[in-house]
Structure 1
Amino acid sequence: MSVTKMTVVRPGMLTTIQDWPGRVGYWKVGVPPSGPMDDLSFRLGNVALGNPEGAPGLESAMSGPALTFDADTYVCVTGADARVRIDGRDVPQWRPVVVPAGAVLDVGPTHGAGLRVYVTVQGSIEIEDYLGSASTFTLGKFGGYRGGTLGEGDILEIEGLHDSDRIRSIPMEHRPVLPSTSNGGNWNIAVTEGPHGAPEFFTRADMDTLYSTDYEVHFNSDRTGVRLIGPKPEWAREDGGEAGLHPSNIHDNAYSVGALDFTGDTPILLGPDGPSLGGFVCPVTVVAAERWKLGQLKPGDTIRFVPVKAAHAAALGALGLERRASLPVVFSSGGDGDDGVIARRDGDTAVTYRRSGDDNVLVEYGDMKLDLALRARAHALHQRVDALNPHGLLDLTPGIRSLQVKVDPDVLPITSLMGLLHEIEDDLPAASELVVPSRTIRMPLSWDDPATREAIARYMHGVRSDAPWCPWNIEFIRRMNGLDSVADVFDTVFAADYMVLGLGDVYLGAPVATPLDPRHRLVSTKYNPARTWTPENAVGIGGAYLCIYGMEGPGGYQFVGRTTQVWNHRYPDQSGSFEKESPWLLRFFDRISWYPVSPEELLDLRADTAAGRGGGVEITDGTFSLAEHDEFLAANSDSIEKFRAVQSVAFDAERAAWSAAGEFTKKERSDAA
C-alpha cells in the first residue's frame, strides 16, 4: 500500500487530529472522548472520500491549515464556510478535490456562520492510538500528533490508494444548516429535560426562563465547554447541603456531553473535552443528533433551547448521518412532561431514573446525602450491568450515589435499557454485604502550597476579588466548619482516611473522596464562578469531598495543598507506583492518607514521579467491609453527632452571612470570568 507524506506549511488555529467517536470507554476514570466537536461535518467529509466515518482528520478553529502532499491526494474540506484554494485557485468545500503532488492546499479563515473547519484526507492518517483512539486531548497532552496542536513543518504519513471510484459529493440537502449571518447567528438547539431540573433543583419559572431566553455565547469558550451569558436562576432550594453552600451544588455524578452545566450561576454547555464527573446541576441536555452544533457556536452567537420529547430525539438520530442536519430542529416543541425523571421506585432504598439526553440514564439511589451504603448500591449495579454487557452499552460511570449508563439508543433503546435496569434492581444484594478490595495509598501533601496560593491570586485578579473564600481558602474552611484555628484544619486533614468514591472529578483519574470517619469530614462550598486555572495535582475540598486535580484546568474546590501525580504521563511505559495496564494511579474504594512535606520536597518527589520513579507514594493492599464500617459509626455515634452539631451551626452562620451580604442575590454573570 502506498504511503503519502503530508507536510504542514501553516498550522492554522488550534489544528488537531481527531477521530470519531473518539476515546470511548474511559469516562469512568475522567478521560473524555475528545473527537470532532462538529462530528456531523467531520463524518460527512470522510463519507465523501470513501473513508470510514471515523477515520482520523484535522479540526481547526477560526482559520484552517495550509498543507502539501508528496503525491496526488484527494481531500474534502467541510464545516464552517472558509475560502479553500489549491495553489491560489479556488476550489469548493463539501466536495472531494485532488491536491496535486507539491501543490499547496490553503484553507483560510472562517467567515459568516460557524467556527470550526475540517480537512479529511482519502486514506488513513497514521497516528498511534492512545487508549484506543487517535483523537487529540490537548489538556491531557496525549493523542493525535505528540499530544497537541499541529505546528509548522510537522509531517504526517497517509496510507491508502488514490482512488477516484470511492469518492462522492455531499448533496446540499445533507449538509449542516448554519444560521444565516443576517439573523446574527441565532441557533435553535434541541434538548431533553434532565437530569436535574424542576421542581427539585430549578423552579418552574427558571425552566420557563431557560426556554424563553436567547443565551449569548461567551468568548471564554473552547472544546471543554461553551460558556453562556444569561439570567441567573432563582433556584428551588437554598443551598446544596453537604454538597456545598450554593444551590447548584450536588453530590458528584457523571455528566453527559451536551449537558447544560450550571457551575454556580454560570451556564456551560459541556463539550467533548469536558469533565466526566462533577457536582453541579444540569437541567437540560442537548440531544445526540444536535451536539454537532456545539462545535460551530462562536462568541456573540445566541442560543434558544427547544425542549423535545425523547422519542422525537431518538427519531432524529435514527434518520441517519446524512439527513439529520437538514431537518427542522424539532418535530414538535415541548418536553416529555416528566421533568426529566423517567421512573421512580420505592422500597428500602428509593431509586430515581433520570434522563440525561437521549443516550444516557442516570440511576440515583436514596436521598440527596452522603451515605456509603448508597455508593455500595451503585457499585453493585455497576458490577451487574458490566457483567451482562448488553449489546449497545457504551459506558458506565459511577458517582457518589449514582450510576450513569450510556448506550447507543439505535442498538439499545432507552425503553429496553429501563426494562433491564428494573430486572437487575430486583436482584441486587443488600448494600451491607459489600466487601471490596481497598488499598491504602499514602501520599505526600505540601500544605498551603505556593502553587495553590498563586491560583488564588490569579482568581482574585482575573475573576473575582470579593469572594468569601479569598484570600485564603484554608481560613474559609476553618470558618465554615467551626474550628478554632487553621491548625485544626491541618490536623483534621492529616488524620483522615479518604475513601475514593469516584474518579475523574476533574479529569484524568482525579479522585472524589470522603473521610471514612465523619469527624474528619470537613465541608466547604465551591468557587462561584469557578477558577479558570488550577495547578496539576492541587488538593482541595468541595462540599464534603476531597479532590486531587489530575491536570491543569478550571476548578472550584477550596485548596488545602498539592501532591504528586495521579496520572502516568509516561504511559504506556510503566512508571513508579502506576500499574502497567493503566495510566491512572487510584481505584474505586482506595483509601488515601497524607503525610506532610515541604514545597521543595514535593517538587523533588514530582520530578521523581515524572522520571518514572516512586514519587513518595506507598501502597498497601486491604479490603473494606461496609458492615464493619457501620459498626464503627454506631460505636462512635455520640462524638460524631457532637461534631456535626458544631459544624452545622458554623455552616448556617456562614450561609446567613452570605445572605446578608447579598451573595445569593448578587448579579454574577459568566462574563465576570
Structure 2
Amino acid sequence: MSTTKMTVVRPGILTTVQDWPGRIGYWKVGVPPSGPMDDLSFRLGNIALGNPEGAAGLESAMSGPALTFDADTYVCVTGADVPVTIDGHSAEQWRPLLVPAGATLDVGTSNGAGLRVYVTIQGSMEIDDYLGSAATFTLGKFGGLRGGTLTEGDIIEILGAADPSNLRSIPMEHRPVLTSKWEIAVTEGPHGAPDFFTRADMETLFATDYEVHFNSDRTGVRLIGPKPEWARQDGGEAGLHPSNIHDNAYSVGALDFTGDTPILLGPDGPSLGGFVCPVTVVAAERWKLGQLKAGDTIRFVPIRAANAAALGALGVERRASFPVVFSSGGDGDDGVIARREAETAVTYRRSGDDNVLVEYGDMTLDLALRARAHTLHERIEAIAPTGLLDLTPGIRSLQVKVDPDVLPISTLMGLLAEVEDDLPAASELVVPSRTVRMPLSWDDPSTREAIQRYMHGVRADAPWCPWNIEFIRRMNGLDTVADVFDTVFAADYMVLGLGDVYLGAPVATPLDPRHRLVTTKYNPARTWTPENAVGIGGAYLCIYGMEGPGGYQFVGRTTQVWNHRYPERSGSFEAESPWLLRFFDRISWYPVEPEELMDLRADTAAGRGGGVEITDGEFSLAEHDNFLADNHDSIEEFRAMQAIAFDAERTAWSAAGEFTTKGDTDAAV
C-alpha cells in the first residue's frame, strides 16, 4: 500500500491529531477521552472521504493549518466557517477536495460563527496509539504527534492512495448549524434541587443566557452567569462552600459549579472531582461545546433523557434546531432515576443520557460506603455487559458509563438492581493495600508561586491567601502550623479514587479520623497548579498528576505519580500501567528539602526510582471498624474541636460577605 507524506507548512492555532471516540476505558484513573471536541463535524469529514468515522484527523482552534502532500490526496475541511484555498484558488468546505501533489492546502481564520475547524485526510494517519488511541491530550503530553500541537515542518505519513470511488457529499441538512446564540439540550442531574440547588436556582439556570468566557479550552467552557442561592450552608466534610461534595465521577458535558463558577466540562476535562453538577449536556449535543467561542451565549434546554438523539446519529436530529423542535421539558425528577431503601440506601442519579451515578448512603465520609461501591464495581466489571464503556468509583459512588444505543439506561437499571440484591455486607471487605512511602517537600516554593499567581491573576482577597497552610490551621482549630505539619506526616492516607485531578492523581483520606484535616476548595479554582503539588480539599488529600487547574489547599509537593516514559518500565512504576498508585493504597510521607525533591524528581523522570518505597499488605474493613470503636472518645473530642473552628470560619466568611459577594461569578472570572 502506498504512503503519502503530509508536511505542515503552517500549523495554525492549537492544531492537534485527534480520533473518535478517543481514549476510552481509562476514566477511572484520570485519563480523559480527548478526541474531537466537535465530533459531529469531525465524523462527517471522515464519511465524506470514505474513511471510518473515527479515523485520525486534525483539529484547530479559530485558524487552520497550511499543508502540502507529496502525492495527490483527498481532504475535507469541516467545522467553523473558514476560507479554504488550494494553491491560492478558493475551495469549499464540507466536500472532498483533491489536493494535487506539491500543492498547498491553506485553511484560514474563522471570522464568523464557530471556533474549531477540522481537516480529515483520506487514508490512515501513521500515528502511534497511546492507551489505545491516537487522540492528543496536550496537558498529559501524550497521544498524537509528540503529545502536543503541530509545528512548522512536521511530517505525518498517510497510508493509502487517493481513491475517488469512496467519496461522497455531505447533505446540507446534515451539517451542524453554527450560531453565536446557542440552545443546548441537557438532562437533569446528577445534583439538582432540592438537596443542592434551590428550585429558584434551577429556574434561573434554564431562563438565563449564559455568556462564554474567554478563559475556556478543551478542559472546560467557563460561563458567566448569576450566582446560585444554594439550598444548603456548606458541604460539611467535603468543604466550606455549598458547591463542595464528596468526590465522584464527572461526565463530559456536565455543568460543573466550581464554587459559584459554572463550567461545561470538555473531552479533556477531569474525571473525578468534588463539585456539584445540576445538569448534563446529552451525548449527541456535546459537539456544540467545540464550537462555543468567547462572547457566545447559551440557553440550556431541559429534555427527557429518552428523547435525546442517538449518539451514533449524524443526521438532522443532531443539528442545532433539535432542542427547540423536540424538547418536552426535563424528566421532572431532579436527576434522581430511582432510590432504593435498604440498610445502606442507594440513590441512582442521571448524569446525561449515557451515565448512571450510583450513590450509597448519606453524604458523609464512611469507608463502608466506599467498600460497597468497590464491590459493585467488581461485580459489574466481571459481568461486562455489552455496551459498558467505563466504571469510575468515587468516595461513596460508582459511575457507570454506557453506550445507550447498545445498553439502554432502562436495561442498565435492571442489571444494577439484580447485582445490588446479591452484594455481600461491606464489613466483609478485605482488599490488597500497599504501603506507599513518598517524599514531601513541605510548603514547596512551587506551591507558593501558584498562590501568588492566583492572587495576582484570579483573586487577591480569598480567605485562604496568602498562605494555605495557615488557613488549614485556622479551619481545624490547631494551635500552630507546626501542628498541621505533624498531623500530615503522622497520617496514613488511604487512596479511595484515582484521577481526582488527572493522570492517576489520588483522592485519599487518613484512616485515623484524628488526622483528617478539613478545608474548603478555592472559589473560583486556580488556573495553574504545579505538577505533583499535594493539597487538601474537604477531608481529602490529592497529588496533582500534572500541571493544570485546581482547588485544593497546598501543603507541599512530591514526586511523579504518572510515568511519562510509559510504556517503558520506570523505577517504582509497573510495566503494565503508567500510573503509580492503586485503589486502597496507603500513602505516608517523609520530609525532604525542596532541592532534594528536585533531585528525586529528576531521578524519577530518568527511570531511576525517586525515593518511593512500596510494601505489600492488605486492608480489612472489620479491623478498621474495631480501631474506630477502640478510639471512639478521642476521635469525637477531635471532631468537636474541629467543628467549632469550622463554624467560626463559616461565621467569619458570612460576616465578610464571602457567601454573597466575594465568590460571585462576574468578580471571579
Q: Is the 8 A contact 1:44 1:322 kept in 2?
A: no
What's the offset of the Cα at 1:14? 0.2
Q: Is the 8 A contact 2:303 2:323 kept in 1?
A: no
Partner of 1:372: 367
What's the offset of the Cα at 1:318? 6.3
Partner of 1:32: 32
Letter of the structure 1 residue corresponding to residue 580 of structure 2: L
Partner of 1:41: 41
Please give the alpha-carbon distance, in whole angstroms, between the structure 2 residues aligned to 1:87 and 1:113. Answer: 25
What's the offset of the Cα at 1:669? 1.6
Q: Is the 8 A contact 2:435 2:617 kept in 1?
A: yes
What's the offset of the Cα at 1:320? 1.6
Describe the shift of the 1:114–1:526 C-alpha distance in structure 2 as closer, same or farther (beyond 3 A).
Answer: same
1:537 alignment partner, one of 532, 535, 538: 532
Deviations along 1:212-248, whole A, 9 cap, x unmatched? 0000000000000000000000000000000000000
2:598 alignment partner, one of 567, 582, 603: 603
Partner of 1:288: 283
Please give the alpha-carbon distance, in whole angstroms, between the structure 1 residues aligned to 2:596 and 2:418. Answer: 53
Partner of 2:196: 201
Please give the alpha-carbon distance, in whole angstroms, between the structure 1 residues aligned to 2:186 and 2:328. Answer: 10
Q: Is the 8 A contact 1:363 1:404 kept in 2?
A: yes
2:317 alignment partner, one of 313, 320, 324: 324
What's the offset of the Cα at 1:324? 2.6
Please give the alpha-carbon distance, in whole angstroms, between the structure 1 residues aligned to 2:641 and 2:528. Answer: 33
Letter of the structure 2 residue corresponding to residue 144 of structure 1: G
Give matches, 1:543-558, under 5 Å.
543-558=538-553
Once superposed, what is the RMSD of the aligned Cα atoms? Answer: 0.8
Partner of 2:129: 129
Partner of 1:54: 54
Q: Is the 8 A contact 2:301 2:327 kept in 1?
A: no
Matched, 1:237 2:232: yes
Q: Is the 8 A contact 1:399 1:501 kept in 2?
A: yes
Matched, 1:628 2:627: no
Give matches, 1:480-495, under 5 Å.
480-495=475-490
Please give the alpha-carbon distance, in whole angstroms, between the structure 1 residues aligned to 2:639 and 2:432. Answer: 29
What's the offset of the Cα at 1:620? 0.0
Partner of 2:502: 507
Deviations along 1:80-109, whole A, 9 cap, x unmatched? 000000000001000001000000000000
Structure 2 counterpart SS, 1:573: coil
Deviations along 1:523-572, whole A, 9 cap, x unmatched? 00000011110000000000000000000001000000000000000001
Please give the alpha-carbon distance, in whole angstroms, between the structure 2 residues aligned to 1:29 and 1:406. Answer: 14
Q: Is the 8 A contact 1:527 1:556 kept in 2?
A: yes
Q: Is the 8 A contact 1:440 1:590 kept in 2?
A: yes
2:464 alignment partner, one of 462, 465, 469: 469
Matched, 1:655 2:650: yes
Please give the alpha-carbon distance, in whole angstroms, between the structure 1 residues aligned to 2:251 and 2:313. Answer: 21
Matched, 1:574 2:569: yes
Partner of 1:182: none
Letter of the structure 2 residue corresponding to residue 328 of structure 1: F
Structure 1 counterpart SS, 2:438: strand
Deviations along 1:127-155, whole A, 9 cap, x unmatched? 00000000000000000000000000000
Letter of the structure 2 residue corresponding to residue 176 of structure 1: P
Letter of the structure 2 residue corresponding to residue 598 of structure 1: E
Partner of 2:340: 345
Letter of the structure 1 residue corresponding to residue 307 of structure 2: H
Please give the alpha-carbon distance, in whole angstroms, between the structure 1 residues aligned to 2:567 and 2:291. Answer: 34
Partner of 1:120: 120
Q: Is the 8 A contact 2:441 2:597 kept in 1?
A: yes
Q: Is the 8 A contact 1:177 1:325 kept in 2?
A: no
Please give the alpha-carbon distance, in whole angstroms, between the structure 2 residues aligned to 1:213 and 1:534. Answer: 32
Matched, 1:96 2:90: no
Matched, 1:439 2:427: no
What's the offset of the Cα at 1:416? 0.1
Please give the alpha-carbon distance, in whole angstroms, between the structure 2 residues aligned to 1:465 and 1:619. Answer: 40
Deviations along 1:601-640, whole A, 9 cap, x unmatched? 0000000000001100000000000000000000000000
Q: Is the 8 A contact 1:255 1:277 kept in 2?
A: yes
Q: Is the 8 A contact 2:186 2:282 kept in 1?
A: yes
What's the offset of the Cα at 1:670? 5.3
Please give the alpha-carbon distance, in whole angstroms, between the structure 2 residues aligned to 1:360 and 1:206. Answer: 24
Partner of 1:586: 581
Structure 1 counterpart SS, 2:625: helix
Please give the alpha-carbon distance, in whole angstroms, between the structure 2 residues aligned to 1:168 and 1:460. Answer: 54
Q: Is the 8 A contact 1:229 1:671 kept in 2?
A: no
Partner of 1:165: 165
Partner of 2:444: 449
Q: Is the 8 A contact 2:221 2:264 kept in 1?
A: yes
Relative to the length of structure 1, the TM-score reads 0.98
Partner of 1:152: 152
Please give the alpha-carbon distance, in whole angstroms, between the structure 2 residues aligned to 1:329 and 1:309. Answer: 11
Letter of the structure 2 residue corresponding to residue 329 of structure 1: P
What is the aligned-residue identity percentage?
Answer: 85
Please give the alpha-carbon distance, in whole angstroms, between the structure 2 residues aligned to 1:426 and 1:672. Answer: 46
What's the offset of the Cα at 1:322? 2.7
2:556 alignment partner, one of 558, 561, 574: 561
What's the offset of the Cα at 1:363? 0.1
Please give the alpha-carbon distance, in whole angstroms, between the structure 1 residues aligned to 2:88 and 2:643. Answer: 70
Matched, 1:82 2:76: no
Describe the shift of the 1:341–1:566 C-alpha distance in structure 2 as closer, same or farther (beyond 3 A).
Answer: same
Q: Is the 8 A contact 1:260 1:268 kept in 2?
A: yes
Give matches, 1:332-411, under 5 Å.
332-411=327-406
Letter of the structure 1 residue corresponding to residue 646 of structure 2: F
Relative to the length of structure 2, the TM-score reads 0.99
What's the offset of the Cα at 1:317? 1.4
Partner of 1:421: 416
Please give the alpha-carbon distance, in whole angstroms, between the structure 1 residues aligned to 2:667 and 2:651. Answer: 27
Please give the alpha-carbon distance, in whole angstroms, between the structure 2 residues aligned to 1:144 and 1:111. Answer: 28
Letter of the structure 2 residue corresponding to residue 123 of structure 1: G
* Structure 1 residues without counterparts, runs of 5 or longer: 180-184
Partner of 2:266: 271
Please give the alpha-carbon distance, in whole angstroms, between the structure 1 residues aligned to 2:117 and 2:667. Answer: 26
Deviations along 1:424-449, whole A, 9 cap, x unmatched? 00000000000000000000000000
Please give the alpha-carbon distance, in whole angstroms, between the structure 2 residues aligned to 1:672 and 1:493. Answer: 31
Structure 1 counterpart SS, 2:127: coil
Please give the alpha-carbon distance, in whole angstroms, between the structure 1 residues aligned to 2:525 and 2:666. Answer: 9
Letter of the structure 2 residue corresponding to residue 322 of structure 1: G
Structure 1 counterpart SS, 2:323: coil
Q: Is the 8 A contact 2:4 2:161 kept in 1?
A: no
Matched, 1:458 2:437: no
Please give the alpha-carbon distance, in whole angstroms, between the structure 2 residues aligned to 1:354 and 1:106. Answer: 47
